Amino acid sequence: MATVGGQTDAWALRLGGLLLPLLFLGTAGSQLQVTTAPSSTARVGSGALLQCRFDVGGLVALDFLRVTWYFWEQKLAWYELGRSQDQPGASLPSEKELESGDASLSLAVATVSDEGLYRCVVGYGTQQRQGNTTLHLLAAPTISIPRKPVVADAETSLLCHVGRFFPEDVDVVWMRDGQVLKGSTRSSPHRNTDGTFNLTLTYTFTPTHSDASSIFSCRVRHDALEQPIQQDVPLDIRAGDQTGAMVGAVLGILLGAGAAAAAAIYFWRRRKKGWAVSYNVPDVQVPERCLLGQEVTLHCSMEGTFPEDVAVTWERIHSEDRTVPESAGDQESPEHQPLFPALPPGWRVTEERAGTRLTSSLTFTPTLQDDGARVRCVFLHEAKRIREERVSPEIRVWARPQVSEIQVLPEWDPRDKVPFTVQLHNFYPREVPPIQWGWDGAGSWREDPTQIDKNADGTFTATSVWRVPSRSLTRPELRVRVCVQHGPGEPASERELSLRAAGLLRPPDVSEISRTESMPTGKGVTLSCRITGHFPGELSVTWLRRGKGEDTAVILRDSAECRVEPGTAVLARDGKSFQQETRLIRLSPENLKSHIHLSPKKEKEYSCRVGHLALETPIERSTACRPRPPHLGEVSHPQALVPGQPETLRCLISGFYPGQLAVTWLRKGTGEKAPRPLESSDPHRMHTPAPTWAPDGKSYSVESELRLPPAGPEDDGVEYLCRVQHEALKEPESRSSGRLRVQGHSESTKASNT
């Protein structure tokens, strides 16, 4: 082990610790395998373990291990560079377990909202594999049967409340002495605030005294049960009211048989109407989240046997912890504000009676003042001494954020990181949904918003900033993406921005090559070229040499004859771009002037070629070339335009140097005073390819095309111009096609004039 001054060399220790993993990665990196179970099952309220095993073909070096778990697209837990992070309730194994190939995810308490697709992504060195597993959740149902006495020969209902089960599919039946009874009525499942379900199965019949010996049972089958559960209920049957018979007998003596019969019928009806009450009132169900400004309906129902004239009222219970201030009138109102029958504007109550079920519905459009409030539903019948009330869970108002387009902050340092930002407008409550940034070809990272502001209407606006190192900007097609998760069951909002569309890329300006004596005459010459105004700062510089009459140029590298100094990019004065100077130093014992100037016949051409992210083709400057203005050839066109047929105009531009120029096509219609430039919205199509080297090797040429749409009468007499801008021109030059005629139109016009 190497030591310096009696102390262990830390670098030697580090190298020794990494040597084995590096050797291993070089040979076994391609052996990475990830295995997950297709699905897992857990019970609501208990812990859950999602299995994920990986194998790297040998020992695991944690310095090269990356583990990330996703729930749908939400990042739950991750391990990288010896550090692990996770969301509350989720955790990864210990490092010792990771070294053994165990990357399983643990959930402390599983809820219904945790059900869905999970993704285990494992990276090792340059390799990455993933596996998917689906978590299914189960909640076993409970049975509750109200036990109330029934009256013989009077219609009654048996209610079986099945509660807190998940998933929704459940089999419930009423049985009598072990035989399934037909004709039961099953309510629609109601979702609880925790995501589980409730329902009620009602069996209505007219019992007799003989039914007292029978056993009525409610049986439930469900995936969360290993075997069906069942609850029995014996009937407590009471005799009917004898008052009617007694009075009937007395009236029979006094009034005769006819009157006695009428009285008996009267009291039988009263007895039938006054049977023992057997009913059920489920809880008021409130959606987990009520969308701000979107109408919502709450339901309250009574099932079973109850008087027909039961009244239903609703009242609102104010929240004790309000997030939005009440108006002065609301602050002075009592704790319970009745909503029925005098409802606020837009609030309405409807009722529906179907068989043995009475349903009252409250419909309203939630505002922020409703957040945290509750409502009470009351079934009332004073004569029968019925008062059943149910209070709803708290109303939670939610407003989906409006996600802006991605932008680049105006103030930033090009030497550091580029700040991309997105804003979430008008969301509620203040908790910001997960925001994930990333770019194509790379992973994604969750970013917390840097700023949260409260709006005047009580909603919130958040700003998230993601900073990308400038050195990571390597392709103009690279796209920065952001994904905002709104919550379970809600589609995510995605935005993306390419580097080109962001306006970040700035192409370099390359000066002409200058010559300076870098050594005494005869000992060497320095050629230099200044490159300015580019972003990002990374670019490629190549020096080339071409002999007189040679077809190809030779790339120059450091040797005994020359030294190449590409230069270093430094921040320019504008604070938003870079500049640098590149040099070619010719080292030779001979006088080099004859090689680079004086005699054109002996002159060698030296070129500086600059490539950059913002350039489609490199910029090249040469010692043998000076800026040359372009020559515009005639605009080729047909003798006449054929109606309904498209045509193409061409303009040859040649003899220019350097190769950068701009070509614009213009159109001047009949009666128009001046031509106008054609735009992308016009049906015309302009195409100017990249310029190519001319045969002389010192200039460029290009042919620009203008594709005309099918000709019509309005095109008769139209004129097109090809306009060229180039650094060797003081002003743009144009070449006209002359006025074009539409075949048949001009002749008919002349005949008409004659």
Whether residues 21 and 116 share a domain: the answer is yes
Across the range 578-603, mean pLDDT stands at 61
Pairing of strands 150-151, 237-238: parallel
Summary count for the chain: helices (H), strands (E): 8, 62
Pairing of strands 692-693, 700-708: antiparallel
Instruction: Give residue 258's pLDDT band: very low, low, confident or very high (50, 70, 90).
Output: very low
What integer pLDDT is reported at residue 731 of this predicted model? 93
CATH assignment of the domain containing 202: 2.60.40.10
Whether residues 472 and 573 share a domain: the answer is no
Whether residues 133 and 146 share a domain: the answer is no
Does 304 score more than 70 pLDDT?
Answer: yes
Chain center to CA of 295:
25
Q: Name the nearest CA neighbour of 621 among 556, 542, 525, 696.
A: 542
Q: How far apart are alpha carbons 82 and 63 in whole angstroms?
A: 6
Whether residues 585 and 646 share a domain: the answer is no
Using alpha carbons, list the distances in angstroms from residue 334 to 331, 346, 368, 460. Answer: 8, 21, 20, 30
What integer pLDDT is reported at residue 488 of this predicted model? 65
Highest mean pLDDT among 124-128, 235-239, 631-635: 631-635
Residue type, 213: S
- Does the residue 6 lie in any domain? no
List the beta bridge partners of residue 4.
7
Q: Name the nearest CA neighbour of 302 among 283, 279, 285, 277.
A: 279
Instruction: Give residue 14's pLDDT band: very low, low, confident or very high (50, 70, 90).
Output: very low
List the beta bridge partners of residue 726.
none
Q: How far apart are alpha carbons 585 and 522 in whole angstroms?
A: 13
What integer pLDDT is reported at residue 599 of this predicted model? 37
Instruction: Give residue 267's pLDDT band: very low, low, confident or very high (50, 70, 90).
Output: very low
Across the range 379-393, mean pLDDT stands at 82
Strands (E), 394-491: 397-398, 402-403, 407-408, 417-427, 435-439, 444-446, 451-454, 460-469, 479-484
Whether residues 638 and 738 share a domain: the answer is yes
- Which strands sit side by side in the sheet containing 444-446, from one edge to the other? 444-446, 435-439, 479-484, 493-498
Q: pLDDT tens digits, residue range 502-513?
A: 888 899 999 888
Using alpha carbons, list the distances in angstroms from residue 358 to 163, 270, 302, 696. Answer: 20, 22, 5, 95
CA angle 125, 131, 134 (to 5 degrees): 150
Are the C-beta atoms of 43 and 110 separated by less than 8 Å?
A: yes
Q: pLDDT tens digits, residue range 695-722?
A: 765 678 999 999 999 988 888 999 999 9
Across the range 314-336, mean pLDDT stands at 49
Does 319 score more than 80 pLDDT?
Answer: no
Q: Name the nearest CA neighbour of 581 among 526, 654, 635.
A: 526
3-state helix, strand, coil in the chain (%, to 5): 15, 45, 40
Q: How many CB atoms lie within 10 A of CB 15?
A: 12
Whether residues 484 and 536 share a domain: the answer is no
Task: State yes or no: cis peptide before 476, omega within 30 of 0.
Answer: no
3-state secondary structure (DSSP) of residue 707: strand
What integer pLDDT is reported at residue 225 of this predicted model? 93
DSSP code of residue 415: T
- For residue 96, give both structure tokens: 């010792």
Per mean pLDDT, which range of 127-141, 302-316, 528-542, 654-668 is the poorest?
Answer: 302-316
Across the range 318-331, mean pLDDT stands at 43
What integer pLDDT is reported at residue 627 of this predicted model? 80
Are the C-beta atoms of 586 and 525 separated by less than 8 Å?
A: yes
Does 677 score more than 90 pLDDT?
Answer: yes
The dihedral over CA atoms of 592, 597, 601, 605, expressed in degrees to the nearest 10, equals: 80
The dihedral over CA atoms of 531, 537, 539, 541, expressed in degrees to the nearest 10, equals: 40
- Does the residue 385 lie in any domain? yes
End residue of a domain, out of 273, 295, 329:
273
- Does the residue 120 lie in any domain? yes
Q: How far apart are alpha carbons 113 and 92 in whole angstroms?
A: 20
Q: pLDDT tens digits, residue range 186-204?
A: 988 888 878 899 999 999 9
Residue type, 416: D
- Does the residue 470 lie in any domain? yes
- For residue 498, give both structure tokens: 């390419």
Q: How far apart are alpha carbons 511 and 619 in whole angstroms?
A: 10
Count of structural domains, the chain: 7
State phi, psi for 344 to the nearest 5 degrees: -60, 160
Whether residues 266 and 298 share a domain: the answer is no
Whether residues 43 and 134 share a domain: the answer is yes
Q: How far apart are alpha carbons 302 and 309 in whole angstroms?
A: 12
Q: How many CB atoms lie within 10 A of CB 130?
A: 14
Across the range 217-227, mean pLDDT stands at 94
DSSP code of residue 500: H
Does 633 score more than 70 pLDDT?
Answer: yes
Does 332 score more than 50 pLDDT?
Answer: no
**14 CB-contact burial (10 Å; exposed 0-12 / middle 13-18 / buried 19+):** exposed
What integer pLDDT is reported at residue 749 of this predicted model? 53
- Does the residue 754 lie in any domain? no
Whether residues 178 and 123 share a domain: the answer is no
What integer pLDDT is reported at residue 671 of this predicted model? 86
List the beta bridge partners of residue 158.
203
Q: How far apart are alpha carbons 598 and 601 in whole angstroms?
A: 9
Whether residues 683 and 575 share a domain: the answer is no
End residue of a domain, out of 138, 170, 203:
138
The dihedral over CA atoms of 563, 470, 615, 666, expressed in degrees to the nearest 10, equals: -150
- Does the residue 4 lie in any domain? no
3-state secondary structure (DSSP) of residue 664: strand
Whether residues 426 and 527 share a domain: the answer is no
What integer pLDDT is reported at residue 688 of this predicted model? 93
Q: pLDDT tens digits, residue range 724-752?
A: 999 899 999 999 999 999 888 755 554 44
- For residue 424, give both structure tokens: 């979430």
- Does the residue 721 lie in any domain? yes
Q: How far apart are alpha carbons 562 and 585 in whole angstroms?
A: 5
| Torsion sign across C-alpha atoms 178, 180, 181, 186 | positive
Q: Could you report how far apart the first and last alpha carbons of the chain are, in Å?
A: 109
End residue of a domain, out of 565, 592, 622:
622
Instruction: Give residue 142's pLDDT band: very low, low, confident or very high (50, 70, 90).
Output: very high
What integer pLDDT is reported at residue 695 of this predicted model? 72
Q: How many CB atoms lie within 10 A of CB 328?
A: 8
Q: How far apart are alpha carbons 668 and 674 in whole angstroms?
A: 6
Ramachandran region, residue 125 (left: φ > 0; alpha: ψ -120 to 50; beta: rest): left
- Pinpoint the alpha helices (H) of 383-512: 499-502
Does 624 score more than 90 pLDDT?
Answer: no
Are the C-beta atoms of 46 and 59 separated by less than 8 Å?
A: no
Whether residues 294 and 224 share a domain: the answer is no
- Does the residue 5 lie in any domain? no
Does 653 score more than 80 pLDDT?
Answer: yes
Q: How far apart are alpha carbons 361 and 296 in whole angstroms?
A: 10
Per mean pLDDT, which range of 163-172, 176-185, 302-311 is the poorest?
Answer: 302-311
Residue type, 68: T
Q: pLDDT tens digits, residue range 402-456?
A: 999 999 988 888 888 888 999 999 989 888 888 888 877 565 666 667 788 999 9
Average pLDDT, the chain: 80
Per mean pLDDT, which range of 138-142, 485-489, 700-704 is the poorest?
Answer: 485-489
Are the C-beta atoms of 109 and 48 separated by less than 8 Å?
A: no
Q: In which domain, by residue range, is 738 found?
A: 631-749
Q: How far apart are alpha carbons 349 and 58 in whole angstroms?
A: 69
Q: Name the nearest CA neighbour of 237 among 304, 107, 162, 148.
A: 148
Instruction: Give residue 213's pLDDT band: very low, low, confident or very high (50, 70, 90).
Output: confident
3-state secondary structure (DSSP) of residue 741: coil
Q: pLDDT tens digits, residue range 21-77?
A: 443 444 333 588 999 998 999 999 899 999 999 999 888 888 889 999 999 878 889
Per residue, the 3-state secondary structure of 548-583, as one string, reads CCCCCCEECCCCCCEEEECCCCEECCCCCCEEEEEE
